[in-house]
Amino acid sequence: MRAYYMDDDLVGDQRLPHDSGRSVSDETLDKLGVLRWHIPVDPAGEWQSQVETIADERSYRNRDICLVTKEGMGDEFEKNLKRFYHEHMHEDEEIRFIIEGSGFFDVREHSTDAWVRLHLSAGDMIVLPAGIYHRFSLDMGNKSRTMRLFKDEPKWIAYNRSSATDTNPFRLDYLKSLQGQDVSVGA
């Protein structure tokens, strides 16, 4: 996985790198609450036991596989990519393990509101904390086969960024975890 700040001045397809040339440190990702592992995907499937160990440690009880390709989604492909790329948050952690292909998870750095772009490929696993603003896009490879893990029953409710999500209790809890103090509404 490679992490860097996006260049907001670059325009064009969301699947392009939009690389500012400024790397993001592990320390910054830790402060944002982004957990990450690299577990090589081997043909024998030994990676599955490592994913299971993490799932057990973090109490993830359910999982599914999501395939994002033009062939698999047909006419809905471009529409879905735009939907995935809309800035949002969840009231649960977002846990993803890339089995095949690659893509970008962008997360907001709260202190600057800058986009941090995480380029994930096969073997990369991330956990985004509940309440963090983020979005997803494929890269130019146009393919991702991803295991999604869930603490309880699979649910995937995206709350698009708005004044309402800025005051969502899960968002406020996330902000408190960053600052270790009370967070004013709209911060």
Neighbours of 130 (CB within 10 A): 19
Q: Is 134 annotated as a binding residue?
A: yes
Q: Is 18 annotated as a binding residue?
A: no
Contact of 35 with 57, CB cutoff 8 Å: no
- Residue 25's nearest CA partner among 43, 45, 4 is 4
State the Cα–Cα distance between residues 6 and 107, nearest whole angstrom. 10
Contact of 146 with 99, CB cutoff 8 Å: yes
State the Cα–Cα distance between residues 109 and 116, nearest whole angstrom. 7
Q: Is 94 annotated as a binding residue?
A: yes
Q: Is 86 annotated as a binding residue?
A: no
Give the residue numbers of the binding site for Fe(2+). Answer: 88, 90, 94, 134
Give the residue numbers of the binding site for Ni(2+). Answer: 88, 90, 94, 134
Give the residue numbers of the binding site. Answer: 88, 90, 94, 134
